[in-house]
Amino acid sequence: MLSSMKLFGTWKTRVSPGLYVTMGAVLLVVAACAFAGMSAPQFSNDQGGSACSDLPGYAALKNALAAATAAETSGLNNQMWATIVNRDGVVCAVAFSGANRGAQWPGSRAISAQKANTANAFSLDASSSSNGSGQAAGLALSTANLYSAVQPGGSLYGLQHSNPVDTGVAYAGPSASYGTASDPMVGHKIGGVNVFGGGLGLYAQGHQLVGGVGLSGDTSCADHNIAWRVRNLLGLDHLAASNSLPAVGGVSGDPARPDNIIFDITANPNGGTGVSKSGFGHPTCLNTSGSADLHPVQP
């Protein structure tokens, strides 16, 4: 730095005032970069490890996923992938159940991250309410709640084409790190919108929305059920009414399970996509069971 400034001083009398200012700015940037250590990746203020400090880490997700997958036998009874994102959509943890990363559908890793991003991106808490607008108690929407709404003629048609997955994040290597504590997605924004079961918003105590969890690897109905179990095991399903807080809103019609999957689709007499009475219904799946009896959410 001192030698640079000395050199700068020797040039001072040979250059115009404008170039003098420009060169000074360049040298200051170079010096700042040297002190910052540019060899390491630089993250913006909502990315990197510190962005996930208030959420469960890899070990907690891995343990919850193993327990939830073992408890749920609906669908195909497959092994699973799970992802947690924070409120900014930054991936905080990725895990799989089973003996190795080949014990599940490989495509489900990116889908689990997409589901986590979607549930976080389209859920709200009470902080959304101000100046007469927003949701006074919050509004939790699972990815299962979005299926009918995005069909042709639905109230959210086209949503599934917004916010695309960042493929550079989803498919970064090495593959040997997938589903480990050093999964390459961790610390980066994944993006993506998914519109079938398996994604849920994460609500901390006080009904604060802190991110989302996504599960994939089985039928979408089983994915939803396992995600529900994982969220409960992580202690991030605080949506029920308490003495001081009203229940977080939802579209399920069940205040004990506000963002639960809804099975109310009937055949369309005109053909094509079935009709959901609520507008937020989800198709049944192979060996669908247990969704109505999932744990009630916590206060």
Can you spell out the DSSP letters for 195-218? -SSSEEEEEETTTEEEEEEEEESS
Mean pLDDT of all residues belonging to the chain: 87
**Residue 299 domain-assigned?**
no
Per-residue pLDDT, 31: 38
DSSP structural state of residue 98: S
298 domain-assigned: no
CA-CA distance, 42 to 269, in Å (whole number)? 56
Residue 287 has pLDDT above 50, yes or no: yes
Task: Give domain status of residue 44, yes or no.
Answer: no
Say if residue 201 is in the same domain as residue 102.
Answer: yes
Beta-carbon contacts of 183 under 8 Å, excluding residues fewer than 6 positions away, are 91, 93, 94, 177
**Same domain, yes or no: 20 and 95:** no
Cα-to-chain-centroid distance, residue 185: 12
19 shares a domain with 111: no
Question: Do both 240 and 208 map to the same domain?
Answer: yes
Model confidence at 33: pLDDT above 80: no
Whether 255 and 138 map to the same domain: the answer is yes
| Domain match, 64 and 172 both | yes
Same-domain status, 101 and 31 = no
Distance CA 60, CA 129 (A): 32
The reply to whether 43 falls in a domain is no
Residue at 179: amino acid letter: G
68 and 206 part of one domain? yes
Task: Name 124's Cβ contacts closer than 8 Å, sequence gap at least 6.
Answer: 134, 135, 138, 139, 140, 209
d(C-alpha 129, C-alpha 203), whole Å:
16
pLDDT at 48: 56
On whether both 73 and 152 belong to a single domain, the answer is yes
pLDDT digits (tens, 9 = 90+) for 96-147: 999 999 999 999 999 999 999 999 999 999 999 999 999 999 999 999 999 9
Q: Check whether residue 93 and residue 238 sit in a common domain.
A: yes
Question: What's the pLDDT tens digit per position in 165-187?
Answer: 999 999 999 999 999 999 999 99
Number of domains in the chain: 2
Same domain, 225 and 131: yes
* Tokens 């709404």, located at residue: 149
pLDDT recorded at residue 226: 98
Please identify which residue in the block is written with the tokens 């519109």.
195
Is residue 42 one of the residues assigned to a domain? no
Q: Is the pLDDT of residue 44 over 90?
A: no
Residue 62 shares a structural domain with residue 175? yes
Q: What is the mean pLDDT of residues 215-232?
A: 98
Domain range holding 189? 49-293
273: confidence class by pLDDT, cuts 50, 70, 90: confident
